Structure 1
Amino acid sequence: MLEAIVFDVGETITRDDRYWASWADWLNVPRHTLSALVGAVVAQGRDNADALRLVRPEIDVTAEYQARDAAGHGENLDDSDLYEDVRPALSVLRSMGKRVIIAGNQTERVGRLLRDLDLPADLIVTSGEWGVAKPQPEFFHRVIEVAQAAPGETLYVGDHPVNDVFPAKAAGMRCAHLRRGPWGHLWADDPDVVAAADWRIQSLTELATLVGS
């Protein structure tokens, strides 16, 4: 039986629309141009940040993050950035007695912003706060620790095969691939994803039925 449900953040809990729009504005390129480049790198199985490097090959992404923050254009989140199924799904899972955790590859700032949204979760943590990021095994070791359940009793939910499905499975956890966002849609029917995922879902509201069965 599953005791803990752990959620990725980007394109699982939150929409990335505003994130990429803000980068396009900062780099002074049309928003649709950067969106197209994100799609291109996703299709090639590359890191999302490579889209920024296609716009500005010499970019130091970490330094640019810092420059944006200093200029008052850092990351922001509010309820409009959440997918509509997030609060209902997490609330139901908690009412079923499941430990609900949000843990993804985000900055410390995003961790604070997510906690400010008062989501129905027992713990919200980011790679920036842990100092280790997906898909490194150490990240998933930390997930298992905070889940307070055995790996086989812990479900990791995410859209990204390389960052979510495959490493969670390698850590001994159950995993659900979410068909959401560019990665989720493009790789949903990939044979390796189909083989690795315990479940493939279209919405987070499906989880209550799955974990209760």
Structure 2
Amino acid sequence: MIETIVFDVGETLTRDDCYWNLWADWLGIPRHTLSALVGAVVAQGLDNAEALRLVRPGIDLAAEYHAREAAGRGECLDESDLYDDVHPGLSALQQLGVRVVIAGNQTGRVGELLRGLDLPADVIVTSAEWGVAKPQPEFFHRVLEVAQAAPDETLYVGDHPANDIFPAKAAGLRAAHIRRGPWGHLWADAPEVVAAADWRIDSLTQLVDVVRA
């Protein structure tokens, strides 16, 4: 029985368009160029940030991030960045008595922005606030602490096999892979993902049937 469902953020709850557009504008390159480079590194199984290093070799991402913030061109996140099924999906789960947690690899600023959206969630936290990030096992130990449920009663939902599905399963959690975003679509039918994921979904509203079953 699923008591708690924990959600990744980027390309699970939110579209990453704004995130990458801001980086493209800051680095002075066309948005479609950076988008194509993100797709290229995803296809190679590399971290998304490698796309930025292709644009500017040797870039200090932390320094550039702080420079953007200082220039008033930092991270943005509002209701328009949410997928359409977020509010109805999470609300329906809470109505079923499921504890809803949002925990992903994000900055503290994104945590603040998410908590300002009045999402139907019991806990919203980011890796930066915890000081540990996916796919490290410690991240999923923290997930279980806030989940307040046994590992096999806790479901982690995400789009990224290496960051979400595989480490969640290694920690004893159940896992649902969502076909959303570059990682979600490209690796949806990979044999290793099919074998690892307890469920594969296209919409958050499908989780209602998972819980009822």
Q: TM-score range by the shorter chain?
A: over 0.9
Corresponding residue number in structure 2 for 1:120: 120
Corresponding residue number in structure 2 for 1:154: 154
Corresponding residue number in structure 1 for 2:48: 48
* In 1: Cα distance, 2:73 partner to 2:19 partner: 11
Structure 1: tracts of 5 or more residues without a match = none
Map residues 122-137 of structure 1 onto 2, 5 A cutoff.
122-137=122-137
User: Which amino acid in structure 2 is aligned with residue 77 of structure 1?
Assistant: L
User: Which amino acid in structure 1 is aligned with residue 51 of structure 2?
Assistant: A
1:59 to 2:27 alignment = no
1:166 to 2:170 alignment = no
User: Which amino acid in structure 1 is aligned with residue 162 of structure 2?
Assistant: V
* In 1: Cα distance, 2:163 partner to 2:62 partner: 20
Map residues 96-107 of structure 1 onto 2, 5 A cutoff.
96-107=96-107
User: Which amino acid in structure 2 is aligned with residue 186 of structure 1?
Assistant: L
* In 2: Cα distance, 1:114 partner to 1:129 partner: 13
Offset, 1:68: 0.4
Corresponding residue number in structure 1 for 2:87: 87
Per the normalisation by structure 2, the TM-score is 1.00
Listed one character per residue, the Cα deviations across residues 14-70 of structure 1 (whole Å, up to 9, x for unaligned) are: 000011011000000000000000000000000000000000001011111101000
Corresponding residue number in structure 1 for 2:9: 9
Corresponding residue number in structure 2 for 1:141: 141
* In 1: Cα distance, 2:6 partner to 2:211 partner: 12
SS at match of 1:138: helix
Q: CA RMSD in A?
A: 0.4
SS at match of 2:211: helix
Corresponding residue number in structure 2 for 1:201: 201
Of all paired residues, the percent bearing the same amino acid is 77
User: Which amino acid in structure 1 is aligned with residue 10 of structure 2?
Assistant: G
SS at match of 2:155: strand
How many residues are paired up?
A: 213
Structure 2: tracts of 5 or more residues without a match = none
Structure 1 segments, 4+ long, off by >6 Å, are none
Per the normalisation by structure 1, the TM-score is 1.00
* In 1: Cα distance, 2:58 partner to 2:133 partner: 23
SS at match of 2:139: helix
* In 2: Cα distance, 1:20 partner to 1:76 partner: 11
User: Which amino acid in structure 2 is aligned with residue 33 of structure 1?
Assistant: T
SS at match of 1:133: coil
